[in-house]
Structure 1
């Protein structure tokens, strides 16, 4: 008998954090959807990964402010819902929780929100074809149990679908990260090589550091530390203990050296690594070749976030990074397959600067995408907040969002807000929240607007030129009177006319990212608020002739009372670099006085 096709307007493949999050929004909007999940439970990936069971997403339970949204900035594991019992800090007290705690949380989230999910149902083929009596353009999904589903909109929430192996001849002699033996006794006194330079490589190294005779990590190039790049996917401090041992010459080491081949002779227990080192610092720059035998070689090359094999040949999504990521439009839709969207960790295909590859980032991407889907398929307009034509309430809201909102904090630079000022003076100002900035700049309603503003959070270490290479050296207070020379995360407001950037202004830094409070006893609590009021008024003239007090201190004369000049003795200890930076716009906050003689 022919299989009856089960139709849903939207099908979500995968019941991990992303699938559950989108399902929650779909259910709340009373849409026709279903999740198809290959495993017997939600979040199956976390039953075996990460291998050493410790997450690198923080779970900070205590914060200095009562605002719920502000506290979500420091809760990196909760999904979004109206149920305050479904917050991850109720499941673990650890700053870096265990994967098993996340599994318990996802189980409860799926059960309490009653999302529609079919488990033990693996999708084995996706095609797009016309059938008698069926609407054009539907997706048809075949599953391992012989059933068939169809849908108009398909959302891929499959997460990390397969492990990548280092693309090196002889890599079969290495053990993949997901398969390496966790029995530490086997590594005692052994020589271990790890190929990779990300968190998984250093996670393994930390785990084996007490047991191996020495560990050599080969990463092909210099490390990227999250504290320098401010990208949560780069090497995190929780995983880099081995670097201490490397710098203190305690046997374990990291090499920015390219491994070009692995070999193993028949009957030989050890694996030989052949590597090529670029030695530009030698008197004769070139390459230096060598080999080294190891007892164990472990490959930590990351994951693929798309499985192209399940798609029919005529609808295979385009990919990038050698098939690692789907190639997406700015709204997370496949560039070549209409109505096919990728959600969850694959959203980092569009964002390698913020947190789109993690729960604390993609939960907001998914909320935004849901609004976009509602507008595209259900004729429900994207949410907008209306303001009177007065700079004060608009600036107040910008400051409130910058000080409290979690979405633009977690997805800094990538996501922000948009303010559109209609030409008709009778129309109110439109304020859109949580939109991808690259997406906004492609939209006609933005490009055609006579007056448009974007506001988002951004790091500005690049303004300090070569002095920005080690951001941990920025330890002194920035130039408080110069809003341009602020290095750390802060709100920027950009003014556009007909899609062209005209001007930009930014707030003064805040240690705790609250731009609505004082940092010191004597500073002006309204400095940033008034700075933005003046900026808006400059181009909109909503409040003619009004200038708002935006100095750093509470009154102009306070500067001489609170900024104490150096003594003659102290001036003699100013480092020479200070005088060598006369032409530098932004001086780094890294200089200290030379020691006393």
Structure 2
């Protein structure tokens, strides 16, 4: 039996990113992967081979941290030694480039990965015992599962779902669909990616699910439908045979060489209709594997088994010392931020390692000393909001924290975790970047605040910095820096408004401290 303190399951982007930070701290770890190389999921997915993760090479800046705001594929490094753009410069790159990049990343940093190790069982007594298909056994004090989604989310609630061809198994040669009638189940990006791929060949494509279609540009959630995949919406509304349907499917029945599919429409006064198709494709997504959890490792799950139940520190809610990295941590910000995607979970991996170092290695959360003054806090915040990638890529979820009395600035920490972690501190500020809320149905027609209304930042609709004051874990005030078209928060008026806010907070803190130190004065104040 081979023993390591930390064992990571999966050598995809999350496993490698976690390994990189563990190695940087000199900790004992091993990564196990079933494949012969890194990034096996990207060898097959997405099946149509175009990634929709933005790879914006030209930003007008040579600031590495700023550029990560527009680089959705690179993993985080301290030396900036390898970037995804070294392998592909297309705005929407090829999936093969991700495979090359991940293997290049592993090689450059000489990460400790053992391939051809398909994990078949993880059980726990006092430590984790990890068994592989080849018969190897590993022991770990802390297990980190970075295996992602590996099981198809088939529409098993539909009578006759066995006639459905899953996304993983579909024929992707467009000519094989010439003049065919095609039903695509699902309304996520994989469904529309598939429909776009076949739109010029199929006679008719219907995309169906009971859920209302949501657009990423409207919700600001990148898991909703992206514009790069929505050409078929034009064809639908401009009357070119293809269509989108809000409906429940009750059953699918094979009739000769075709399939009769019965729909119960959501917005047609109870109408039920049966339509014939030549093929039915399922693009209903994936969920977490459920066949590797052994005795003592029966993981609680959420969203019908799609995700594990997690604490704010990425630890299983019911299995101590079992942590998750990568896509599965999206359960903590599901459909709100970006932890389901590389440009989001790379920061979760970094935070996870800091959490592990604090929990098991006796380390403190990394931070920088800052003079305890409103002016110095202002400068630190302004510097970060103008270039930090974590706050930008994980809006409302990741934060920076200013410990006011201690004069310490802490970066790249999940906000809710931070609020709880520092709840014993008398005063601290949590810095995030967030979108506002519009009552308008069309975000492109929303009335925006005048750029000179520096003290009305709370009315901003687009992504903008938010600073919240906490006293012993309870929020007491907040300040919004007004949105800016080019995300430039260096205007002297913006800076002055922030410094004024922080000064007021610090004065109140000083007065409170004085009263606490002088009980008689405090009592007199109360009597007055």
* TM-score above 0.5: yes
2:420 counterpart of 1:438: no
Shift of 1:85: 4.0
User: 1:351 Cα deviation (Å)?
Assistant: 1.2
Structure with larger Rg? 1
Q: Secondary structure at the match of 2:296?
A: helix
Distance 1:362 1:104, change over 3 A: same
Question: Cα deviation per residue 1:15-59 (whole Å; 9 max; x = unaligned)?
Answer: 001111111111121111101110100000111110000001010
**Alignment RMSD, CA only?**
1.7
Matched with 2:444 is 472
Counterpart position of 1:123: 119
Q: Pick from 90, 101, 108 the counterpart of residue 105 of structure 1.
A: 101
Trace 1:557-572 onto structure 2 (pairs within 5 A): none
Q: Is the 8 A contact 1:37 1:118 kept in 2?
A: yes
Q: Does residue 256 of structure 2 align to residue 273 of structure 1?
A: no
Shift of 1:115: 0.3
How far is the alpha carbon of 1:307 from its aligned partner? Answer: 1.8
TM-score by length of 1: 0.82
Higher mean C-alpha displacement, 476-485 vs 353-362: 476-485
Q: Which residue of the other structure, out of 484, 497, 501, is the alignment partner of 1:510?
A: 484
The partner residue of 2:461 within 463, 484, 487 is 487
Q: Which secondary structure state, in structure 2, belongs to the residue aligned with residue 161 of structure 1?
A: strand
The offset of 1:83, in angstroms, is 4.2
Alignment of 1:204-353 (within 5 A): 204-265=194-255, 268-279=256-267, 286-304=269-287, 306-352=288-334, 353=336
Q: Does the 8 Å contact 2:312/2:417 carry over to 1?
A: yes
**1-side partners of 2:509 and 2:295: how far apart?**
60
Aligned residues: 507
For residues 38-87 of structure 1, the C-alpha deviation after alignment (integer angstroms, 9 at most, x for no partner) is 01000001111100000010100111233211111101111112343410
Q: Deviations over 1:381-419 (max 9, x none)?
A: 111222222111111111111110001110110111122
Unaligned 5+ runs, structure 2: 511-528
CA contact (8 A) 2:367 2:409 kept: yes
Residue matched to 2:522: none
Give TM-score scaled by structure 2 length.
0.93
Cα distance in 2, alignment partners of residues 509 and 46 from structure 1: 37
Matched, 1:147 2:160: no
CA shift for structure 1 position 421: 2.3
Q: In structure 2, what is the equivalent of residue 414 of structure 1?
A: 397
Aligned to 1:9: 5
Distance 2:451 2:236 in 1: 36
Aligned equivalents of 2:327, 2:509: Cα separation in 1: 45
Aligned partners of 1:380, 1:504: CA distance in 2, in Å? 30
In the TM superposition, residue 209 of structure 1 has moved relative to its aligned partner by 0.2
State whether residues 449 and 460 of structure 2, in contact with CA within 8 Å, keep that contact through their aligned partners in structure 1: no
1:537 aligns with 2:527: no
**What SS does the aligned partner of 1:308 have?**
coil
Q: Give the corresponding residue for 2:180.
A: 190
| Cα pair 1:390 1:542 within 8 Å, conserved | no
Please give the alpha-carbon distance, in whole angstroms, between the structure 2 residues aligned to 1:485 and 1:102: 40
Q: Contact 2:433–2:465 (CA<8 Å) still a contact in 1?
A: yes
Structure 1 distance, partners of 2:151, 2:509, is: 58
Question: Would you say the 8 A contact 1:206–1:242 is kept in 2?
Answer: yes
Q: Deviations over 1:406-439 (max 9, x none)?
A: 01110110111122223xxxxx422221111121
- 2:148: which partner in 1? 159
